[in-house]
Amino acid sequence: MYEGLDSLHVERRGEVLWVRMDKEKRPNSDLARVFREVNGDADTRVVVLTGAAEKAFCVGGGGAGSWKTEAEHNAYWFGGMQLARDLIIS
């Protein structure tokens, strides 16, 4: 799990999964993938998101990835974010 992520550094500390995002490498698809994998990871109880920027950091849903259409991008990105929300509530 959590391998082959080009834009994220993932480190497990007990039941906490630390995810550091590198905005320069456009973490959108990797971040959605992490949340999908967390859903099946019984060893992770908390995900901490951090950024690698020196001054400020913001990750949004924009940017082009390997998707052919914007609708494909949105379905993948927002599907992963909905899954993250569901995990937080449950």
Q: Tell me, what's the pLDDT at 65?
A: 56
pTM of this structure: 0.61
Q: Tell me, what's the pLDDT at 24?
A: 65
Q: Tell me, what's the pLDDT at 16?
A: 93
Predicted confidence pLDDT, tens digits, the chain (90 residues): 888 888 888 999 999 999 988 766 665 678 878 888 888 899 998 888 888 777 665 555 555 556 677 777 667 767 766 666 665 655
Q: Which of 46, 71, 74, 47 is nearest to 60 (CA)?
A: 74
* H, E, C per residue of 47-65: EEEEECCCCCCCCCCCCCC
